[in-house]
Chain A
Amino acid sequence: MNKILTFLFCLIIFCLPAYCLEYDYSSTESIPVKLSITEEISTKMPILEGQILKFKVLKDVQNDRLNLKKGDIVTGRIECIITSGMNGFPAEIIIDNFKIPYVKKSQLIGTYIKKGQNRFIWVYPLKFALTPFPPTGSITNIIKGGHAKIKTTDIITVYYYPDWK
């Protein structure tokens, strides 16, 4: 009997790591939360990576899992800023790490990416077309991509998965 118990104990110990994942994405049930930024931001402004931004809830989300009212404030963080570059490369702002009261970070999905105007699409063909006539091809280097701007009218949707760990 003791041997069986020891064997079972060992089996559980060896199998334990396989069942001890910190996440479980089995559930597909999600609740969308629509947000908009409280103050417009742009890559023209002196914004920083890691900066916390405020967002307001656009629609009531009321059920047994989540209770958010229109106008409630939640926060998000600027994860990465890509500045606009030569040859029409647009600027980009990546926002993530949204924090909603009583909701774990691991239960939210909603990376928001906003890009500026992409001029790369026409600048590069132009550059190649002008290359046989030097130095006109290099002139396209001075064309920069558009700045990324998040307006207060932009709608950001974050998904809350209540059954995730």
Chain B
Amino acid sequence: MKKLFVLLSIVLFADYSYADITAENRVQSRIDSVGVNILNKNRIQKRIVFTYNKEAKKKLLSTDKTLLKRQIVVYDGLYQSVQTDDELAAMLSREISFAVKSYSGAWGGRLDSLEVIAGSKKFETTADKRAVDYMVNAGYNPLALIVYINKTCPQKRSDFISRHNLTSKRLAAIYEYLTYKYPQYLENNEYISNKYYQNFLLNSIENRKKLEEKIRTKSAKAIRYE
């Protein structure tokens, strides 16, 4: 009886571990597939790898590995919010733009990487914009970037002394970028029936009014979003 019990425990444990590995492998394969698709379709001639990390948590200087090793680490906490391939592409495209930036510039890209770390707010907006370009080129819907950020990034009270922009400002900037550069995605909006996108529309009314005013007056001035 004891032998049978031990045998059964071993079989169950082995099965559980195998299922765990299989699940992780499936996630890694999905990330690799979407990530490499973005790299190939954008004809990015730089080596960038993608790693799914279930255990570790995102650290304060989370762009370290992206800028130093050109290794995009997808943390489990972030991956949990990803539902569609478009949203996964949104997450990866942002990181790819950081990794690509780390290849350019003086001293083998070290100077540009330092700039990204020191001027994180500025390059955060740039990364968002480049992510939209990468997504469009790779055949993903860029509105997923809005949905993904709206779901995952918290809203601070102020960004005056922060290293990051207010999420509402980032979302408004992406929306403006899409309005001018890729209006077709807003005209034939596949996300109009998406509740997360509707939530963005609901909480961005003031910022969108500012954009409408800019379009109406044909102004070229930068809008001060809230």
Q: Which residues of B contact A50 (CB under 8 A)?
A: 180-181
A-B contacts at CB below 8 angstroms, number: 45
Q: Which residues of A contact B111 (CB under 8 A)?
A: 118, 120-121
Q: Mark B102-119, 1 if CB is under 8 A from A, else 0.
A: 001100000100110011
Q: Report yes or no: A124 in contact with B133, Cβ–Cβ below 8 A.
A: no
Q: Mark B130-145, 1 if CB is under 8 A from A, else 0.
A: 1001000000000000
- B183 and chain A: residue at smallest CB distance: A50
Within 8 A of A (CB), among B129-165: 129-130, 133
CA distance A35 to B122 in the complex (A): 30
Q: Mark A39-50, 1 if CB is under 8 A from B, else 0.
A: 000000010111
How near does chain A come to B135, taking the closest CB pair, in angstroms?
13
Q: Report yes or no: B40 in contact with A23, Cβ–Cβ below 8 A.
A: yes
Q: Report yes or no: B181 in contact with A49, Cβ–Cβ below 8 A.
A: yes
Q: Report yes or no: B220 in contact with A85, Cβ–Cβ below 8 A.
A: no
Known: A82-B122, A109-B45. 9 other contacts (CB 8 A): A50-B180, A79-B133, A80-B129, A89-B115, A106-B43, A115-B105, A118-B111, A120-B114, A120-B115
Q: Which residues of B contact A (CB under 8 A)?
A: 40-41, 43, 45, 104-105, 111, 114-115, 118-119, 122-123, 126, 129-130, 133, 177, 180-181, 220, 222
